[in-house]
Amino acid sequence: MTARLRVAVLFGGRSGEHEVSLRSAESVARGLAQRHDVLCVLIDRAGRWLLQPGPRPEGSGGEPVFLTPSPTDGGRLRRLTDAAELARPDVFCPVLHGPYGEDGSVQGLFELAAVPYVGAGVAASGVSMDKAMMKALFSRDGLPQVEYRVLLARDPLEERQTLDALGLPVFVKPANLGSSVGVGRAASAEAFGVALDAAFEYDRKVVVEEGVDAREVEVAVLGNDDPEASAVGEIVPDREFYDYDSKYADDSRTELLIPAPLDPATTREIRRLGVAAFRAVDACGLARVDFLLERSSGRMLVNEINTMPGFTSISMYPRLWEASGLPFAELLDRLVALALDRHSRRARLRTDYGP
């Protein structure tokens, strides 16, 4: 892509992953600025959109703005107080993790405004954010997974049945969060109850997964209708499992092995399954697909898909593509081009009906 575009980077958000989004946005804005003009839009914890004056994302401050959900307004960012036009981005890049950003909410606004945006559409974002729905789609396409159950409330009978079916240990996760926020491992019935209480603080729906002794490997997927998979990487966490602190703490000693030490056949199969998972949810643009590689059996199990993976300086998604020969700035340029291509194709679709 040669044209220099105005790219609005949205970050922050009303989510438990607000801080992670700030870190991702810093890297994305810096990378985009090499080839494009960056507009920084902070979504604060109250949900306000704040247009910031410079090309570097800040954790606070900015002019309150809004995006009109109408194609006739051309995607303008308008000042909240008097509706004056302050900016007109060519493309929106929602570097938002978790609810109200990665779950189809903001994607729906972009669709109503008829503006190009980076990443998955409304449906793919929604089902990929909701681990229960995501797993149902993976099952439909025959993708291998761990056994799991979905709980909607604390219920002693359901909890006993869940442990009878899955055994111990289990992993307990809010259905609609990422970055391991609210995730717990339980090796006893008492710990299971504690983990459920923690998960239900973040979501009305909780996924309980069979615990397996496994290596954690990941693959990055890029594209629209013809996606491709990157090299495969492995995560070696510095604690019992890859939790929030293991991912983001300054003193984390977690190792990222790129490429993962796997035989060629296993690598090929993981890359194939990564693309299959991408297609199962009808994703586009980008996604990171996480796997569990069971140590005892060698089973490859699809764990989850993230349609807006972390983009910090240590995040796996950009590092996997860099190891595959696609540098960071070029990766971002590809994502902008994919957003424009998808928008152009959707704009040609009919919105009326007649003979």
Q: Per-residue confidence of the chain (355 residues) as pLDDT tens digits? A: 558 999 999 999 998 889 999 999 999 999 999 999 999 999 999 999 999 999 999 999 999 999 999 999 999 999 999 999 999 999 999 999 988 999 999 999 999 999 999 999 999 999 999 999 999 999 999 999 999 999 999 999 999 999 999 999 999 999 987 657 789 999 999 999 999 999 999 999 999 999 999 999 999 999 999 999 999 999 998 756 544 555 554 566 789 999 999 999 999 999 999 999 999 999 999 999 999 999 999 999 999 999 999 998 779 999 999 999 999 999 999 999 999 999 999 999 988 887 7
Give the integer Cα–Cα distance in Å for 41 and 62: 8
The CATH code of the domain at 6-117 is 3.40.50.20
The ranges assigned to domains in the chain are 6-117, 147-210, 214-324
**pLDDT at res. 147:** 96
What homologous superfamily does CATH list for 214-324? Answer: ATP-grasp fold, B domain (3.30.470.20)
147-210 carries CATH number 3.30.1490.20: yes
Angle at 291 between CA 286 and CA 295, to 5 degrees: 160
Residue 222, token pair as written in the block? 């890029």
Q: DSSP characters for 174-221?
A: ETT--TTTT-EEESSHHHHHHHHHHHHTT-S-EEEEE---EEEEEEEE
**pLDDT at res. 314:** 79
SS3 assignment for 309-328? CCCCCCCHHHHHHHHCCCCH
pTM of the model: 0.92
Letter string b/e over residues 129-162, b meaning 16 or more CB atoms within 10 A of that residue's CB: bbbbbbbebbeeeebebbebbbbeeeeeeebeeb
**pLDDT at res. 292:** 97
Residues 16, 303 contacting (CB under 8 angstroms): no
**pLDDT at res. 148:** 97
Angle at 146 between CA 143 and CA 148, to 5 degrees: 110
**pLDDT at res. 354:** 77
**Residue 276: DSSP 8-state:** H
Angle at 246 between CA 242 and CA 251, to 5 degrees: 165
Short-list 292, 303, 228, CA closest to 266: 292
